[in-house]
């Protein structure tokens, strides 16, 4: 997948986790936590959805990489390039 496609996948996951959030105005460089009402349980869901949908295992020490859309896409790009 290209970074743009990966972004679309993450957006899809966010929509699933937080259906009431307005994701159109999401700023990629600002952390999810600052823009969305997300708690640690929701972050776990991003990780779990990636595993469920794309079979990607993210070790717990890397959860911090998923803070914003930009850092998430950057982290996922090498992991998802062959999907």
Partner 1 sequence: MYDTIIIGAGMSGLAAGIRLAYYDQRVCVLERHYTIGGLNSFYRLRGRDYDVGLHAVTNFTPKGTKKGPFARLLRQLRFRWEDFTLAPQIGSAIRFPDMELQFNNDIKLLESQIATRFPHEKDRFQQLLRELVDYDDLQQEHFNLSARQVLGQTLRDPLLIEALLCPLMWYGNPCERDMAFGQFCIMFRSIFLEGFARPFRGVRPILRNLVKRFRSLGGELRLRSGVSRIVVRDGRAVGVVLDDGQQIEARRILSSAGYVETMRLCDDISCVETDRAGRLSFVESISILDKQPAELGYDRTIVFFNDSDRFHWQMPQEDLCDVRTGVICSPNNYAYDLSDGQLPDGVIRITALASFDRWTSLSESQYRLAKLHWFDRLAASAVRFMPDYRANVIDTDMFTPSTIRRFTWHDNGAVYGAPEKRLDGTTHLKNVFLCGTDQGFVGIIGSIVSGISIANQHCLKD
**Chain positions contacting partner 1, by CB under 8 A:** 16-18, 20, 37, 39, 41-42, 44-45, 48, 51-52, 60
**31: three-class secondary structure by DSSP:** strand
Cβ(48)–Cβ(60) below 8 Å: no
Q: How far is the CB of 52 from partner 1 (least distance, A)?
A: 6
Q: Which is nearer to partner 1, 17 or 80 (CB)?
A: 17
Q: How far is the CB of 36 from partner 1 (least distance, A)?
A: 9
Helices (H) and strands (E) in the chain, counts: 4, 0
């Amino acid at each position: 997948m290209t970074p743009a496609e990966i972004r679309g996948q993450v957006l899809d996951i966010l929509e699933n986790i937080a259906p009431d959030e307005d994701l159109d105005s999401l700023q990629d460089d600002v952390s999810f936590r600052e823009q969305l009402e997300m708690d640690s349980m929701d972050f776990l869901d991003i990780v779990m959805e990636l595993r469920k949908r794309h079979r990607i295992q993210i070790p717990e020490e890397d959860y911090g990489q998923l803070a914003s859309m930009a850092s998430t896409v950057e982290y996922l790009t090498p992991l998802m390039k062959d999907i």
